[in-house]
């Protein structure tokens, strides 16, 4: 059913572009196969093949995600849902009322105006969203993903070392809703950008932000204001977290490796 995805995963040699748990162990497989909720066949088939999945890496987050087990949720009006994945900043759901009838269930996505039905089945939703992301990458960028990333140069290793010496903390919310972040440069140089992770307190969303810190000299501290997905996250939901050290495969995901010109 998902041979197209297995082919893409096998083709790409860039680590972390696709992250999947893989098939569950025997006991978990039995629990999935014997579950009593009546989950749609195409969703169960995916979980039995891939488990939890994060697909098509985009900077600090992923364009497409699938939960290895559905998470109970509900609308503001109290309608029961199962959260089964995400596409960009939007969560994907089954209605509880649509599950258990021995047939495929439509997939809904969250949006500014509420839930919108976007596909008649999980299989079609996944393929549509995957095709959209794959098409947006382009042939040249895909060829780079297929190739094995080149090792870091000495200059890039120096960037990794420098970003370890930067300290930051969230200090407040600006009148326009932007998050205020205090940054201290404890390194011996000045990076053009600093990359930071962003998620919501409920664990349903994960992304990232960059801060332009070229003018922050060694030993200096300054406060910066960033949007932090304010169209999607309430300010009390925002959680900032440090990203791990980048590897060669992360050149396009960490803004520290970019020039500030034209940004």
Res 262: pLDDT: 36
Range 116-145 burial, b when 16+ CB lie within 10 A, else e: eebbebbbebbbebbeebbeebeeeeeeeb
Percent of the chain with pLDDT over 70: 97
What is the average per-residue pLDDT within 212-235? 93
Q: Could you tell me the CATH superfamily of domain 3-146? A: SMI1/KNR4-like (3.40.1580.10)
- pLDDT tens-digit readout, 92-133: 999 999 998 668 999 999 987 889 999 999 999 999 999 999
* Helices first, then strands: H and E counts in the chain: 6, 13
Q: For the whole model, what pTM was predicted?
A: 0.75
Kindly report the CA angle at 68 between 64 and 73, in degrees rounded to 5?
A: 85
pLDDT band, residue 261 (cuts 50/70/90): very low
Query: What span, in angstroms and rounded, lies between the C-alpha atoms of 174 and 230?
Result: 12
CB contact set of 48 (below 8 Å; sequence gap of 6+): 23, 24, 29, 32, 33
Q: First CA to last CA across the chain, in angstroms?
A: 42
Sorted by where each begins, the domain ranges of the chain are 3-146, 154-257
Element (H, E) at 200: strand 193-200
For the chain, give the mean pLDDT: 91
Cβ neighbors of 141 (< 8 A, separation 6 or more) are none
* pLDDT for residue 76 is more than 90: no
């Amino acid at each position: 059913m998902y041979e197209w995805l297995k082919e893409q995963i096998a083709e790409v040699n860039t680590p972390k572009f696709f992250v999947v748990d893989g098939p569950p162990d025997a006991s978990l497989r039995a629990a999935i196969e014997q579950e009593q909720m009546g989950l749609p066949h195409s969703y169960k088939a995916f979980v039995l093949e891939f488990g939890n999945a994060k697909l098509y890496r985009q900077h600090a987050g992923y364009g497409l995600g699938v939960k290895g087990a559905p998470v109970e949720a509900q609308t503001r009006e109290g309608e029961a849902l199962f959260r089964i994945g995400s596409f960009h900043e939007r969560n994907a759901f089954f209605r509880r009322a649509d599950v258990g009838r021995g047939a495929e269930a439509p997939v809904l996505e969250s949006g500014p105006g509420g839930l919108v039905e976007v596909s008649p089945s999980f299989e079609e939703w996944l393929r549509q969203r995957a095709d959209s992301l794959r098409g947006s990458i382009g042939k040249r960028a895909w060829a780079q993903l297929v190739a094995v990333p080149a090792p870091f140069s000495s200059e890039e290793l120096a960037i990794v070392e420098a970003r370890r010496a930067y300290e930051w903390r969230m200090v407040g919310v600006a009148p326009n809703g932007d998050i205020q972040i205090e940054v201290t440069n404890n390194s011996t140089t000045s990076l053009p950008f600093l990359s930071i992770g962003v998620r919501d307190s409920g664990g349903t969303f994960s992304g990232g932000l960059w801060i332009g810190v070229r003018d922050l000299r060694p030993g200096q501290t300054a406060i910066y204001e960033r949007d932090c997905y304010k169209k999607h996250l309430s300010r009390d939901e925002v959680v900032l977290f440090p990203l791990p050290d980048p590897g060669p495969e992360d050149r396009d995901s960490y803004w520290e490796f970019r020039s500030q010109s034209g940004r």
